[in-house]
Amino acid sequence: MLQRITRILFFQPLNTSLRFYSTKTMYDFKGKTVIVTGSSAGIGQSTAVRFAKEGANVTIHGRNPEGIEETKQKISELGVGEDRIQVVFGDTVEDKTLQDLVDKTIEKFGQIDVLVNNAGGSSKQEGYDKADISSLDHVLELNLKSVMKLTSIALPYLEKTKGSVVNVSSVDAHKPHPEALNYAVAKSALDAYTRNACCSFAEKGVRINNLNPGWIRTEIKKRGGTSEEGQKKFEETWVKKNVPLARSGLPHEMANIIVFLASSEASFMTGSLIIADGGLQNYSEPQGPAAKTDEEKKEEEEKK
């Protein structure tokens, strides 16, 4: 008998009825409600679509009507109806937008199970980002204070559902990026917020974690003044040289991690800072601004 068992376990392929790992293919978000800020493009859009695919009701948010419509379309293509989608427009640096995100979500769905604080960015000024003190207040408001405010407003509802918060930070919080000084400072503070908040949130049964992406192909670079051509050139000349995986990350790869962190599969994780950067933090030269194309240099000369 023992020989037979040994032969089955070690000398024959395992059949589908004999497994030593979970066969679960879906996360447990059916009937749950998720808010994703900044979900009109990039990581936020991919995250909202992924949560909807996993059965969640989703509140999507942004300032760009075309981008929000695109997100809605992607969700609708999954067979998700309007009854599972709420839309909130506005800038997260405005208190009214933050209150609307919570109020309109509760009004339509009656609960909040997950808050994904994805909205963020660099300065309003031209160029990728500057270490200019004049933009510090805006960068801190956008990347730190708005997150703390929205989380505070949503916390009583998250406590009722024993929910979770996932903040999208940056590898810049761990690896110097002097050209984006204010942004790096804000994201470092966001990491500190999460590590400290997890202690008090735990008493309420609420988890909070951060995802710290590396260089991801998103709209933030274009909004910061980098052209598509300039972004591609930067990837060829800097990313492939300094990122061990030799490529940029993709929004859906970040969404996969966010959904995991919010799920019960990560039930023993809180106050964690998860870096997903293709190895960037471990080996690279100091990161500078995206290289300007000849066309951009010409335009600058003409403006002088």
Catalytic residues: 183
Structure tokens at 284: 């690279």
Bridge partner list, 208 = 165
DSSP state of 286: P
Question: For 79-88, which contacts have Cβ atoms below 8 Å and span 24 or more sequence positions?
Answer: 80/52, 84/52, 84/56, 84/57, 84/58, 85/52, 85/57, 85/58, 85/59, 85/60, 86/57, 86/58, 86/59, 86/60, 87/59, 87/60, 87/61, 88/59, 88/60, 88/61
Contact criterion met (CB below 8 Å) for 187 and 170: yes
Question: Around 282, how many Cα atoms within 13 Å sit in the side-chain half-sphere?
Answer: 8
Nearest 5°: phi and psi at 187? -70, -35
